[in-house]
Amino acid sequence: MSFPPGFFDRDDERPDTEVYAVPRLVTHIDEGAVEAVGLLYEELGLDGDVLDLMSSWVSHFRTPPRALTVLGMNADELAANPAATARVVQDLNADPVLPFADASFDAVVTCVSVDYLVDPVTVLAEVARVLRPGGLSVCTFSNRCFPTKAVRGWLSVPEEQRPQVVADYHRAAGGFGEPEVQQRLRGSWRSDPLWAVWARRLP
């Protein structure tokens, strides 16, 4: 599976470490969407050893898993995450290789961040590598973003088609069963929509 030339280009190609140097202790989706993320994690039974990719000061679990490793860009944000049991500072756009052994996690979650990945297929191939057989990769996202840092292909695709883009990322990465796609919240002029894509690591 391939993507058109320029799909993963961005308007602002400055290093992400420069752009995200200042902590942002805010949520990037509204309360309804935050609640919907937590409900999804609960419905999917995410527990055990969990990795939160491109994380921040909050991971949106209603009940935190037994062990939560948060990997993100800003050390201060990660330090403020009360659910975290381990913290890793890493720019996945500069280095998409995850610093974990094979089959280390029961689930990997990516919340409102997949649109910023310049090499999501490699990142998700790494997610498959660090997941245990049967483990879940779960991506949730809305229609909010920093448009200068989101990849151009994401911005060019209508909102309702973006879940299929994330499903295609998983298919291209390999190692996963067929992705599940759901719109968890419709959204309105007063509230954020929320989509979810998840796929299970094959044996």
| More reliable by pLDDT, 29 or 166 | 166
- Please indicate whether residue 4 or residue 46 has the higher confidence score (pLDDT): 46
Q: Which long-range contacts (CB under 8 A, 24 or more apart) does 26-29 make?
A: 27/58, 28/112, 28/142, 28/144, 29/112, 29/142, 29/144, 29/192, 29/194
Amino acid type, 113: S
Residue at 50 is within a domain? yes
Q: Examine residue 159 and state whether it is found in any structural domain, yes or no.
A: yes
Tell me how far apart the alpha carbons of residues 71 and 54 are, in angstroms, rounded to a whole number. 6
What is the Cα Rg of the chain in Å? 16
Q: How confident is the model at residue 27 (pLDDT cuts 50, 70, 90)?
A: low
Residue 147 falls inside a structural domain: yes
Q: Facing residues of 147 across strands? A: none
For residues 159 and 139, give the distance between their C-alpha atoms in angstroms, rounded to a whole number.
15
Number of domains in the chain: 1
Residue 8 lies in a domain: no
**Residue at 10 is within a domain:** no
List the CATH number of the domain containing 98. Answer: 3.40.50.150
User: Is residue 9 domain-resident?
Assistant: no
44 found inside a domain: yes
Domain with 192, as residue range(s), is: 16-200
- What's the pLDDT tens digit per position in 61-104? 999 999 999 999 999 999 999 999 999 999 999 999 999 999 99
136-170 pLDDT per residue, tens: 999 999 988 778 889 999 999 999 999 999 999 99
Q: DSSP label at 176?
A: B
What global pTM score does this model have? 0.93
Distance between CA 186 and CA 178 in Å, rounded? 24
Flag whether 65 is in a domain: yes
Q: In residues, how long is the chain?
A: 203
Strand partners, 198: 138, 180
Residue labelled with tokens 């929320």: 194
The sign one gets for the Cα dihedral 57, 20, 98, 46 is positive
Average pLDDT, the chain: 93
